Structure 1
Amino acid sequence: MVWFSYHGGHSGEFCAHAKSTLEEIVETAIERGFTHYGLSEHCPRYRVEDLYPGEEDCGIAGLAKAFDGYVKRAFALRDARAGEIELLIGFETETLPPEGWLDAMTALRQAHPFDYIVGSVHDICGRWVDFSPADTTALAADLGGPEALHLAYFDTVTTMVETLRPDIVAHLDLVRKFEPPRFGFSPRVLSVVERTLEAIRASGGILDVNCAAFRNGYGPVYPLPQILERARAMGIRVTLGDDSHGVKTVGVGLDRSLAAIASAGYDSVAYLTRTDGWREAPLDTLKPGRI
């Protein structure tokens, strides 16, 4: 029996908006019964205008140094804890800088022997879609309204998938983070989502069923049921992501991810191993952790 998550493991040691040390997160994953756990720290950002508020003192050079520190620490922990848990080491990408992001992410991917990468989109042309409701509303207004924002976001995700071909596609509908309860995408947006799903299927990507939305009070897990059901019909595989940012969120909410996966009609979930690559675990064989 297995228990796993591949999008998360962000730590306050290497990420300014996270908590805890990386070792504390790994220890918590072991305590909570994970057999496989992915560490996917955020990649560096390369322009001053892409810094989060509070990162000004760290700066561009500081982010790069922190990421190098993460890589060294993560691989050391993988070896040190090999008898207790199988750690998979990766990173979470950005479509930043707007010009040259693909080269930057590709170079980072090739710089270290990562087990996988998580393909994420958090911006449109350098403007955040998930940082604050006010920022997202302003971006939508500048693009021509909420539907225009959704269309631009999914177009960006499609391009990211087609060009970068990440192993895991993260929080597919992150753009609806600040939408009201019972929100659903318009038919026009869903037609673009269809193209995004087709790109994921063609690239062999695995879809992250991410519990952070539910855990943080932003509606159902990512992606919405209407998208997850379509992904299942298209034969796109799914995996679990706790999107943890400290010990308090390791594994928290993954029961909701499992419930969403089952409701969409899946009977198994994909998990990554270092020796055999991606494997499928039947839903009734999973061993949920101890929270």
Structure 2
Amino acid sequence: MINSELISLHGGHSGQFCCHAQDSLEDLIKAYISKGFKAVGISEHMPPPEHRIIYPDELEQGFSVKDLGDRFSRYFFELERLKKKYKSDIRIFKGFETETVTGSPALVRSLIREFNPDYIVGSIHHLNDRCFDYSRQDYEAIAADFKGLDTMYTAYFDAQYKMILDLHPFVVGHFDIIRIYDPDFEARLDKPEIAERIQRNLSVIKELGLVLDYNLRPLAKGKKMPYLTPAILERAKALGIPVIPGDDAHSKEQAGMFVDKAVQSLKDMGFSTNWPTPRCMTPA
């Protein structure tokens, strides 16, 4: 168990290693320490398996696949340095966040062998190799290609199910991020063909001993509801799935933001705050 009530296992994105973040990784670590964190997991994005998966902001800055791979290597080197430097102040768990695109499962396993992370966060940002959460315009275009949001949602939860079975990520990241630009998401998540997939995915998360990310990034953007929705939280609680806060911080100001409130919310719902220790569970 982790000896710290304050925790984030999804986040720590820094401007040093992520084009859409700010500040150095060391500044983020110092921010966690200043806010009373005794443990934190850092989970920077993995590099892309090929050029067409590179994010627009990375392309704008002229990054190639090799550049991003080299940057990822520097990330783990820096993370190890910071882990040693601040070991008397905070326990740092070394991780990374996956993508789910063509070629990513083999790359995830290769990165695990090379960098020996403490854990990984399994996330879905793409459908059919197209990123749906980068902008509302992209989201709507992909939904149109799926002939509607209902089909897009089912494709998302099917892709998530496959990723979970394949990678066994210790943390399943922002489980319901597919609703990011959908104003009617609460009703849509209740539709039978979608609700059944949610229950199936939660059941396999429980079976494999994984944890769910209580992702607080929407709150930092001024929205009212984290990922997960209250209804999904209730389902997770009924199954006995651990739920752990993730600030998904992209700056030192966001490091630890809303985590104290999230911990209290989880307590109020009856979740345990005896957080399980991250471990890498991906089959070879």
Q: Normalised by the size of structure 1, how large is the TM-score?
A: 0.89
- 1:77 is matched with 82
For 1:263 and 1:128, the matched residues in 2 are separated by 35
Aligned to 2:22, the other structure's residue is in SS state coil
Q: Deviations over 1:119-139 (max 9, x none)?
A: 111011111121111111111
- 2:44 is matched with 41
Using the TM superposition, give the Cα deviation of residue 260 of structure 1 relative to its aligned residue in structure 2, in angstroms. Answer: 4.1
Deviates more, 1:265-274 or 1:129-138: 265-274
- 1:53-64 aligned at under 5 Å gives the runs 53-56=56-59, 57-64=62-69
Aligned to 2:241, the other structure's residue is in SS state coil
- 1:232 is matched with 237
Using the TM superposition, give the Cα deviation of residue 270 of structure 1 relative to its aligned residue in structure 2, in angstroms. Answer: 1.8
Residues 95, 118 of structure 2: 8 Å contact kept: yes
Deviates more, 1:196-205 or 1:167-176: 196-205
1:247 partner amino acid: K
For 1:230 and 1:273, the matched residues in 2 are separated by 22
- 2:32 is matched with 29
Aligned to 2:253, the other structure's residue is in SS state helix
Aligned to 1:261, the other structure's residue is in SS state helix
Residues 12, 248 of structure 2: 8 Å contact kept: yes
Residues 201, 235 of structure 1: 8 Å contact kept: yes
For 1:92 and 1:228, the matched residues in 2 are separated by 22
Deviates more, 1:67-76 or 1:2-11: 2-11
* Correspondence for 2:134 among 131, 136, 159: 131
Aligned to 2:275, the other structure's residue is in SS state strand
Any unmatched runs of 5+ in structure 2? none
The RMSD of aligned alpha carbons is: 1.8
* Correspondence for 1:158 among 156, 161, 169: 161
Q: Deviations over 1:183-234 (max 9, x none)?
A: 3312321111011101111111111101112221344111111111001101
- 1:144 is matched with 147
Aligned to 2:121, the other structure's residue is in SS state strand
Aligned to 1:5, the other structure's residue is in SS state coil
* Correspondence for 2:179 among 176, 181, 184: 176
* Correspondence for 2:273 among 268, 272, 275: 268
Q: Which has the higher contact order (CA 8 A, sep 6+)?
A: 2
For 1:34 and 1:250, the matched residues in 2 are separated by 10
**Structure 1 runs of 4+ with >2 Å offset:** 181-184, 255-265, 271-274
Residue 112 in 1 paired to residue 130 in 2? no
Aligned to 2:228, the other structure's residue is in SS state coil
For 1:273 and 1:205, the matched residues in 2 are separated by 10
Q: Deviations over 1:208-266 (max 9, x none)?
A: 10111222134411111111100110111111101011101001122442354245432
Using the TM superposition, give the Cα deviation of residue 105 of structure 1 relative to its aligned residue in structure 2, in angstroms. Answer: 0.8
- 1:212-223 aligned at under 5 Å gives the runs 212-223=217-228
Deviates more, 1:41-50 or 1:165-174: 41-50
2:178 partner amino acid: V
Aligned length: 273
Q: Deviations over 1:125-160 (max 9, x none)?
A: 111121111111111111120111111001111111
Residues 217, 226 of structure 2: 8 Å contact kept: yes
Q: Which has the higher strand share?
A: 1
Residues 181, 219 of structure 1: 8 Å contact kept: no
Residues 256/129 of structure 1: CA separation in 2 closer, same or farther (3 Å cut):
farther
Deviates more, 1:128-137 or 1:262-271: 262-271
- 1:11-26 aligned at under 5 Å gives the runs 11-26=14-29
For 2:278 and 2:108, the matched residues in 1 are separated by 23
Q: Deviations over 1:42-86 (max 9, x none)?
A: 000122221111212012111101100000000111011101111
Residues 237, 271 of structure 2: 8 Å contact kept: yes
Q: Normalised by the size of structure 2, how large is the TM-score?
A: 0.91
Any unmatched runs of 5+ in structure 1? 278-291
